[in-house]
Amino acid sequence: MAATLDLISFAMLTLGGFCVFVGGVGVLRMPDLYTRMHAASVTDTAGMGLVIAGLLLQAGWSLALVKLLTVFVFLYVTSPTAAYALANAALLSGHEPEDVEDRTGAGP
Amino acid sequence: MTLVFSLFLLTMLVIVAVAIVNSVNLFSAVMLSGIFSLLMAVNFFVLDAADVALTEAAVGAGVATVLFLGALALTGEREQERPPAQWLPLVIATATGGLLIYATFGNPVLGDPQAPIHLHVAPWYLENTPRLIDIPNVVTAILGSFRGFDTLGEVFVVFTAGIGVLSILGVRHTLVEITATELDARQRSLRHHLIPRVVGRGMVPFILLFALYVQFHGEYSPGGGFQAGAIAAASIILYSLLEGDDRGRELVPEWLLRLMLAGGAFLFGAVGVVCMLLGGNFLDYDVLSSVPSEGQHLGLLLIELGVGITVSGVLLTVFHAFARRASR
């Protein structure tokens, strides 16, 4: 039982770490602010969720479990809000989304 | 593992520090300094200094960033034209840096039990805290009781800083009658952004609750007056940012801020004087109760409360002073 839980937990942590990595690569590689934010959201949602779920399995029934759940709820509420505020502020200050079609040269 | 993590953190610190110095845009410099503080907080945590980490995260990454942004609203976003490179400062800085790096070779290894700091008074504190103060958090015992004089001094430094900002940014202010639409136009708040407002307002009570926990649980876990004061101030500042500075000032009116500013430091000093009146030394809490350790508990509770009140009062006063200048 414990071994199975450990295995699931490790898998979740690894997958979570991979999602964080993907988010980081996306932030560096995407062309403009909005697509970068889109990439970063992988870190905020899948990465954060999987890492915390993996840690929850490691914590067992303890105080750490409650704390991790609190962190999860807190991040679950605040990071979309922060993303919204960032995108909204960018749009209001005149950042137009770039036309990716033109950049790739696929257009006519 | 910890070594790898520490190396990573310190490398990131250096990178962020260089980026702060290099950035011409002051806004991004402020954001980078927030990141620097968060990294520093993690670093303190790795070094097992949870109390310091909490302070660094709350003040450095939270409140200080907002205050910097308030200052930027008063000035400008871009740095002035840099003067051409000067050689003398570079030579002095390089020489000092080299000297400091040379000095680190004389330092004991991290975690060395034979380091001088572990052989001087630290063992005495660790040994006698359970007997004399009877609380688990030795940091609070040292800060509040053994070295209470230093902490009193720190509180007065914070108090003086608050007075200094008030005297520079102006206590006097003229009240100008303006209409509601004008007021709305002047607001630099997020009042018209529904989502951050709703979520932020939902957070405020929890942050305040956490501040109270940090305040009154400081004898058992990391925390205490300085951290709690900063966290409480952060929650009110969040409210002011969301709802506008005027509503924030309605929530914590100015007379209350003045009272907090002076009252906390006064409470700290008054506990010391009461100790003297009861026949002990200044800040010797043993005499506050018939059982010495209970007297210590009472004294620590009161002085931590004083610290918390003054710190949050000063931070809020500074924030309001900036915000009022910016909204003029």
Whether this prediction's pTM lies above 0.80 is answered by yes
Contact B244, B220 (CB under 8 A): no
Percent of chain B with pLDDT over 90: 32
pLDDT band at A108 (very low <50, low <70, confident <90, very high): very low
| pLDDT for residue A100 is more than 60 | no
Q: What is the DSSP letter of B179?
A: -
Q: What crossing angle do the helices spanning A63-92 and B194-216 adopt, rounded to 10°?
A: 140
Give every CB contact of residue B313 below 8 A, 6+ residues apart in sequence: B162, B229, B257, B258, B259, B260, B261, B263, B264
CB contact under 8 A, B199 and A88: no
A interface test, pick of B199, B203, B207, B238 with most A CB neighbours within 10 Å: B199
Residues of A in contact with B203 (CB under 8 A): 77-78
pLDDT score of A107: 44
Strand partners, B78: B25
CB contact under 8 A, A78 and B203: yes
Contact B273, B122 (CB under 8 A): no
Strand partners, B25: B78
pLDDT band at B327 (very low <50, low <70, confident <90, very high): low
pLDDT score of B190: 60
Shortest alpha-carbon distance between residue B293 and chain A (Å): 29
pLDDT score of B154: 92
| pLDDT for residue B188 is more than 70 | no
pLDDT tens readout for residues B198-245: 888 889 999 999 999 999 887 788 778 889 999 999 999 989 888 877
| pLDDT for residue B14 is more than 90 | yes
pLDDT score of A106: 47
pLDDT score of B175: 53
CB contact under 8 A, A85 and B202: no
Alpha-carbon torsion angle B76, B193, B205, B230, nearest 10: -10
pLDDT score of A101: 57
pLDDT score of A97: 77
pLDDT score of B310: 94
pLDDT tens readout for residues B29-85: 999 999 999 999 999 999 888 888 988 998 888 889 988 888 887 777 777 777 777
Burial A63-81 (b: 16+ CB within 10 A, else e): eeeeebeeebeebeebbeb
CB contact under 8 A, A77 and B202: yes
Q: Which of residues 63-92 of A touch B (CB under 8 A)?
A: 77-78, 81, 84-85, 88
Question: Chain A residue with minimal CA distance to B207?
Answer: A74
Contact B54, B218 (CB under 8 A): no
Percent of chain B with pLDDT over 70: 92
pLDDT tens readout for residues B264-301: 999 999 999 999 998 888 888 888 888 888 888 888 88
| pLDDT for residue B189 is more than 60 | no
Percent of chain A with pLDDT over 90: 41
Mean pLDDT for the stretch of residues B6-12: 93
